[in-house]
Protein backbone atom coordinates (compact mmCIF):
# COMPACT_ATOMS: atom_id res chain seq x y z
CA UNK A 1 0.00 0.00 0.00
CA UNK A 2 1.11 3.57 -0.40
CA UNK A 3 1.19 6.63 1.79
CA UNK A 4 -1.88 7.95 -0.02
CA UNK A 5 -3.89 5.01 1.34
CA UNK A 6 -4.39 3.35 -2.03
CA UNK A 7 -4.17 -0.43 -1.87
CA UNK A 8 -1.31 -1.64 -4.04
CA UNK A 9 0.42 -4.96 -4.61
CA UNK A 10 3.18 -6.18 -6.88
CA UNK A 11 3.11 -9.79 -8.07
CA UNK A 12 6.49 -11.17 -9.19
CA UNK A 13 6.37 -14.65 -10.73
CA UNK A 14 8.80 -16.60 -12.84
CA UNK A 15 10.73 -19.86 -13.16
CA UNK A 16 13.35 -20.85 -10.63
CA UNK A 17 16.64 -18.91 -10.80
CA UNK A 18 15.08 -16.05 -12.79
CA UNK A 19 16.06 -13.30 -10.34
CA UNK A 20 12.78 -12.93 -8.44
CA UNK A 21 14.35 -12.44 -5.01
CA UNK A 22 16.63 -9.63 -6.18
CA UNK A 23 13.79 -7.75 -7.86
CA UNK A 24 11.47 -8.16 -4.88
CA UNK A 25 14.07 -6.78 -2.49
CA UNK A 26 14.90 -3.91 -4.82
CA UNK A 27 11.22 -2.94 -5.02
CA UNK A 28 10.64 -3.41 -1.28
CA UNK A 29 13.57 -1.18 -0.36
CA UNK A 30 12.08 1.62 -2.47
CA UNK A 31 8.49 1.29 -1.27
CA UNK A 32 8.79 -0.14 2.24
CA UNK A 33 6.65 -3.11 1.16
CA UNK A 34 6.49 -6.45 2.89
CA UNK A 35 7.55 -9.41 0.77
CA UNK A 36 5.27 -12.44 0.96
CA UNK A 37 6.46 -15.83 -0.24
CA UNK A 38 4.52 -17.46 -3.08
CA UNK A 39 6.71 -20.51 -3.60
CA UNK A 40 5.45 -23.90 -2.45
CA UNK A 41 8.90 -25.24 -1.49
CA UNK A 42 10.24 -22.13 0.22
CA UNK A 43 7.50 -22.40 2.85
CA UNK A 44 9.25 -25.40 4.43
CA UNK A 45 11.81 -25.13 7.20
CA UNK A 46 15.25 -26.84 7.17
CA UNK A 47 15.80 -26.54 3.39
CA UNK A 48 17.04 -22.95 3.43
CA UNK A 49 19.66 -23.25 0.71
CA UNK A 50 18.21 -26.14 -1.25
CA UNK A 51 15.00 -24.22 -1.93
CA UNK A 52 16.92 -20.97 -2.61
CA UNK A 53 15.19 -19.04 0.14
CA UNK A 54 16.52 -15.51 0.71
CA UNK A 55 19.75 -15.68 2.70
CA UNK A 56 20.26 -13.78 5.98
CA UNK A 57 21.72 -10.72 4.23
CA UNK A 58 18.73 -10.59 1.87
CA UNK A 59 16.24 -11.10 4.67
CA UNK A 60 17.76 -8.15 6.53
CA UNK A 61 17.09 -5.78 3.63
CA UNK A 62 13.29 -5.97 3.71
CA UNK A 63 10.45 -7.50 5.66
CA UNK A 64 9.87 -11.11 4.57
CA UNK A 65 6.89 -13.25 5.51
CA UNK A 66 5.92 -16.92 5.04
CA UNK A 67 9.43 -18.18 4.30
CA UNK A 68 10.32 -21.41 6.10
CA UNK A 69 7.32 -21.16 8.41
CA UNK A 70 6.03 -24.70 7.82
CA UNK A 71 7.63 -27.79 9.36
CA UNK A 72 8.76 -30.36 6.74
CA UNK A 73 6.55 -32.97 8.41
CA UNK A 74 3.46 -31.07 7.25
CA UNK A 75 1.54 -31.20 3.97
CA UNK A 76 0.95 -27.54 3.17
CA UNK A 77 -1.86 -26.97 0.69
CA UNK A 78 -2.79 -24.10 -1.59
CA UNK A 79 -5.76 -23.46 0.68
CA UNK A 80 -3.45 -23.18 3.70
CA UNK A 81 -1.20 -20.80 1.81
CA UNK A 82 -4.17 -18.67 0.83
CA UNK A 83 -5.33 -18.47 4.46
CA UNK A 84 -1.86 -17.37 5.56
CA UNK A 85 -1.65 -14.87 2.71
CA UNK A 86 -5.01 -13.43 3.77
CA UNK A 87 -3.56 -12.68 7.21
CA UNK A 88 -0.61 -10.90 5.62
CA UNK A 89 -2.94 -8.81 3.48
CA UNK A 90 -5.02 -7.82 6.49
CA UNK A 91 -1.92 -6.85 8.49
CA UNK A 92 -0.50 -4.85 5.58
CA UNK A 93 -3.78 -2.98 5.21
CA UNK A 94 -3.70 -2.03 8.90
CA UNK A 95 -0.14 -0.75 8.50
CA UNK A 96 -0.86 0.99 5.19
CA UNK A 97 1.90 -1.10 3.64
CA UNK A 98 2.36 -2.21 0.05
CA UNK A 99 2.59 -5.94 -0.63
CA UNK A 100 4.99 -7.83 -2.87
CA UNK A 101 4.10 -11.45 -3.58
CA UNK A 102 7.06 -13.32 -5.05
CA UNK A 103 7.54 -16.93 -6.07
CA UNK A 104 7.35 -19.60 -8.69
CA UNK A 105 4.13 -21.40 -7.77
CA UNK A 106 1.52 -20.44 -10.31
CA UNK A 107 -1.32 -22.04 -8.35
CA UNK A 108 -0.70 -19.64 -5.48
CA UNK A 109 -0.97 -16.59 -7.71
CA UNK A 110 -4.01 -18.04 -9.46
CA UNK A 111 -5.75 -18.59 -6.11
CA UNK A 112 -4.74 -15.14 -4.91
CA UNK A 113 -6.31 -13.44 -7.91
CA UNK A 114 -9.22 -15.71 -8.78
CA UNK A 115 -10.22 -17.39 -5.54
CA UNK A 116 -9.83 -21.00 -4.52
CA UNK A 117 -12.20 -23.92 -4.35
CA UNK A 118 -12.91 -25.11 -0.81
CA UNK A 119 -12.15 -28.76 -1.43
CA UNK A 120 -12.44 -31.09 1.59
CA UNK A 121 -9.16 -32.17 3.17
CA UNK A 122 -7.72 -35.08 1.18
CA UNK A 123 -6.22 -38.05 2.97
CA UNK A 124 -2.47 -38.31 2.13
CA UNK A 125 -3.04 -41.89 1.03
CA UNK A 126 -5.05 -40.71 -1.98
CA UNK A 127 -2.32 -38.21 -2.85
CA UNK A 128 0.27 -40.99 -2.74
CA UNK A 129 -1.91 -43.17 -4.99
CA UNK A 130 -2.28 -40.34 -7.51
CA UNK A 131 1.45 -39.66 -7.47
CA UNK A 132 2.15 -43.34 -8.17
CA UNK A 133 -0.25 -43.29 -11.12
CA UNK A 134 1.61 -40.48 -12.88
CA UNK A 135 5.20 -41.18 -11.83
CA UNK A 136 6.25 -42.76 -15.15
CA UNK A 137 4.14 -40.54 -17.43
CA UNK A 138 5.21 -37.50 -19.41
CA UNK A 139 2.90 -34.51 -19.88
CA UNK A 140 0.95 -36.16 -22.70
CA UNK A 141 0.56 -39.32 -20.63
CA UNK A 142 -0.64 -37.35 -17.60
CA UNK A 143 -3.19 -35.52 -19.71
CA UNK A 144 -4.44 -38.77 -21.23
CA UNK A 145 -4.86 -40.33 -17.80
CA UNK A 146 -6.71 -37.32 -16.45
CA UNK A 147 -8.91 -37.14 -19.55
CA UNK A 148 -9.87 -40.78 -18.96
CA UNK A 149 -10.61 -40.34 -15.24
CA UNK A 150 -11.85 -36.73 -15.08
CA UNK A 151 -12.53 -35.35 -18.59
CA UNK A 152 -14.14 -32.18 -17.25
CA UNK A 153 -11.06 -31.10 -15.33
CA UNK A 154 -8.75 -32.26 -18.13
CA UNK A 155 -10.65 -30.06 -20.55
CA UNK A 156 -9.92 -27.02 -18.37
CA UNK A 157 -6.18 -27.66 -18.13
CA UNK A 158 -3.82 -26.18 -20.69
CA UNK A 159 -0.76 -27.77 -19.10
CA UNK A 160 -0.88 -31.15 -17.36
CA UNK A 161 1.82 -30.38 -14.80
CA UNK A 162 2.26 -33.07 -12.11
CA UNK A 163 0.97 -30.98 -9.22
CA UNK A 164 -2.33 -30.14 -10.87
CA UNK A 165 -2.92 -33.67 -12.16
CA UNK A 166 -2.18 -35.23 -8.76
CA UNK A 167 -4.54 -32.73 -7.17
CA UNK A 168 -7.36 -33.56 -9.58
CA UNK A 169 -6.90 -37.33 -9.32
CA UNK A 170 -6.63 -37.38 -5.52
CA UNK A 171 -9.77 -35.24 -5.14
CA UNK A 172 -11.66 -37.57 -7.48
CA UNK A 173 -10.53 -40.66 -5.58
CA UNK A 174 -11.30 -39.15 -2.17
CA UNK A 175 -14.65 -37.53 -2.90
CA UNK A 176 -15.99 -39.22 -6.00
CA UNK A 177 -16.43 -35.74 -7.50
CA UNK A 178 -14.51 -33.91 -10.17
CA UNK A 179 -12.23 -31.10 -9.02
CA UNK A 180 -14.09 -28.93 -11.52
CA UNK A 181 -17.27 -29.37 -9.49
CA UNK A 182 -15.57 -27.74 -6.53
CA UNK A 183 -13.86 -25.08 -8.64
CA UNK A 184 -17.23 -23.87 -9.81
CA UNK A 185 -17.71 -22.50 -6.30
CA UNK A 186 -14.46 -20.55 -5.91
CA UNK A 187 -14.34 -17.86 -3.26
CA UNK A 188 -13.41 -14.29 -4.23
CA UNK A 189 -9.85 -13.23 -5.02
CA UNK A 190 -8.04 -11.65 -2.08
CA UNK A 191 -6.75 -8.64 -3.99
CA UNK A 192 -10.02 -7.26 -5.31
CA UNK A 193 -9.85 -3.47 -5.17
CA UNK A 194 -6.05 -3.41 -5.34
CA UNK A 195 -3.98 -1.64 -7.95
CA UNK A 196 -1.87 -4.53 -9.20
CA UNK A 197 1.43 -4.71 -11.03
CA UNK A 198 1.89 -8.21 -12.45
CA UNK A 199 5.35 -9.25 -13.57
CA UNK A 200 6.70 -12.53 -14.94
CA UNK A 201 10.49 -12.71 -15.08
CA UNK A 202 11.53 -14.70 -18.13
CA UNK A 203 15.29 -14.73 -18.83
CA UNK A 204 16.75 -15.98 -22.08
CA UNK A 205 16.62 -19.77 -21.98
CA UNK A 206 20.35 -20.42 -22.32
CA UNK A 207 21.18 -17.97 -19.56
CA UNK A 208 18.55 -19.47 -17.28
CA UNK A 209 19.99 -22.93 -17.81
CA UNK A 210 23.47 -21.68 -16.88
CA UNK A 211 22.16 -19.89 -13.81
CA UNK A 212 20.41 -23.05 -12.63
CA UNK A 213 23.63 -25.06 -12.91
CA UNK A 214 25.75 -22.42 -11.19
CA UNK A 215 23.20 -21.95 -8.42
CA UNK A 216 22.95 -25.62 -7.58
CA UNK A 217 26.72 -25.85 -7.27
CA UNK A 218 26.57 -22.83 -4.94
CA UNK A 219 23.84 -24.57 -2.92
CA UNK A 220 26.06 -27.60 -2.45
CA UNK A 221 28.89 -25.41 -1.21
CA UNK A 222 26.58 -23.41 1.08
CA UNK A 223 25.21 -26.32 3.11
CA UNK A 224 22.58 -28.16 1.05
CA UNK A 225 24.10 -31.52 1.95
CA UNK A 226 23.81 -30.79 5.67
CA UNK A 227 20.18 -29.75 5.20
CA UNK A 228 19.36 -33.09 3.57
CA UNK A 229 21.18 -34.94 6.34
CA UNK A 230 19.04 -33.10 8.89
CA UNK A 231 15.88 -33.96 6.97
CA UNK A 232 16.79 -37.62 6.60
CA UNK A 233 17.57 -37.89 10.31
CA UNK A 234 13.94 -37.16 11.04
CA UNK A 235 12.82 -40.28 9.16
CA UNK A 236 9.89 -38.49 7.54
CA UNK A 237 7.33 -39.99 5.17
CA UNK A 238 9.02 -39.90 1.72
CA UNK A 239 5.73 -38.84 0.12
CA UNK A 240 5.76 -35.49 1.97
CA UNK A 241 6.19 -32.45 -0.29
CA UNK A 242 9.38 -31.31 1.48
CA UNK A 243 10.95 -34.73 0.86
CA UNK A 244 10.27 -34.29 -2.84
CA UNK A 245 12.04 -30.96 -3.17
CA UNK A 246 14.47 -31.09 -6.07
CA UNK A 247 17.87 -32.12 -4.77
CA UNK A 248 16.68 -34.03 -1.71
CA UNK A 249 16.49 -37.38 -3.48
CA UNK A 250 19.71 -36.83 -5.39
CA UNK A 251 21.72 -35.77 -2.35
CA UNK A 252 20.18 -38.59 -0.30
CA UNK A 253 21.37 -41.06 -2.95
CA UNK A 254 24.82 -39.51 -2.80
CA UNK A 255 24.90 -39.80 0.98
CA UNK A 256 23.81 -43.42 0.72
CA UNK A 257 26.61 -44.25 -1.69
CA UNK A 258 24.26 -44.89 -4.60
CA UNK A 259 25.86 -42.21 -6.77
CA UNK A 260 28.79 -39.84 -6.67
CA UNK A 261 28.67 -36.09 -6.11
CA UNK A 262 29.04 -35.25 -9.79
CA UNK A 263 26.15 -37.50 -10.82
CA UNK A 264 23.94 -36.20 -8.01
CA UNK A 265 24.56 -32.61 -9.05
CA UNK A 266 23.99 -33.44 -12.72
CA UNK A 267 20.67 -35.16 -12.00
CA UNK A 268 19.46 -32.38 -9.70
CA UNK A 269 20.41 -29.69 -12.21
CA UNK A 270 18.61 -31.57 -15.00
CA UNK A 271 15.49 -31.92 -12.84
CA UNK A 272 15.61 -28.23 -11.98
CA UNK A 273 15.90 -27.24 -15.63
CA UNK A 274 12.93 -29.45 -16.49
CA UNK A 275 10.96 -27.86 -13.66
CA UNK A 276 11.85 -24.37 -14.89
CA UNK A 277 10.63 -25.32 -18.36
CA UNK A 278 7.28 -26.47 -16.94
CA UNK A 279 7.00 -23.26 -14.91
CA UNK A 280 7.74 -21.12 -17.97
CA UNK A 281 5.12 -22.93 -20.05
CA UNK A 282 2.54 -22.55 -17.28
CA UNK A 283 3.17 -18.82 -16.89
CA UNK A 284 3.00 -18.20 -20.64
CA UNK A 285 -0.26 -20.12 -20.94
CA UNK A 286 -1.99 -18.77 -17.84
CA UNK A 287 -0.43 -15.34 -17.29
CA UNK A 288 0.09 -14.25 -20.86
CA UNK A 289 -1.54 -10.89 -20.06
CA UNK A 290 1.09 -10.08 -17.38
CA UNK A 291 4.20 -8.02 -18.15
CA UNK A 292 6.97 -10.40 -19.22
CA UNK A 293 10.43 -9.07 -18.40
CA UNK A 294 13.95 -10.36 -19.05
CA UNK A 295 15.75 -9.08 -15.94
CA UNK A 296 19.18 -9.63 -17.48
CA UNK A 297 18.60 -8.06 -20.91
CA UNK A 298 20.82 -5.13 -21.80
Please enumerate, by residue number, every residue annotated as part of a binding site for substrate: 16-21
Give the Cα separation of 278 and 160 in Å (integer).
Answer: 9
3-state secondary structure of 245: coil
Q: Which residues are annotated as a binding site for ATP?
A: 14-21
3-state secondary structure of 207: helix
Q: How far is CA 44 from CA 69, 194, 288, in A?
A: 6, 29, 29
Give the Cα separation of 51 and 39 in Å (integer).
Answer: 9
Q: What number of other Cβ atoms are within 10 A of residue 296's Cβ?
A: 13
3-state secondary structure of 23: helix
Contact 52, 16 (CB under 8 A): yes
Q: How far is CA 111 from CA 79, 172, 187, 194, in A?
A: 8, 20, 9, 15
Q: Which residues are annotated as a binding site?
A: 14-21
Q: What number of other Cβ atoms are within 10 A of residue 283's Cβ?
A: 23
Determine phi and psi for 88, rounding to 5 degrees: -65, -40
> H helices of the chain, where?
20-31, 56-59, 78-94, 106-114, 124-134, 139-149, 151-156, 162-175, 179-183, 205-221, 224-233, 248-255, 261-286
Maximal CA-CA distance, the chain: 59
Determine phi and psi for 22, rounding to 5 degrees: -60, -45
Give the Cα separation of 245 and 79 in Å (integer).
Answer: 20
Amino acid sequence: MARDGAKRAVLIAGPTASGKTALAIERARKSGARIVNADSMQVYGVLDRLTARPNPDELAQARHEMFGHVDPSMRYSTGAWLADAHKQIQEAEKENQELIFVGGTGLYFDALLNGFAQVPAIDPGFVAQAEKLIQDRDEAGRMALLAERDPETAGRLKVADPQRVVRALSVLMATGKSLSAFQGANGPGLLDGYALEKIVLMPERGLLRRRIGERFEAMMEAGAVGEVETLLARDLDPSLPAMKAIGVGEIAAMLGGEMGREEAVEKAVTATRQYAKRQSTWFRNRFGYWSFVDPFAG
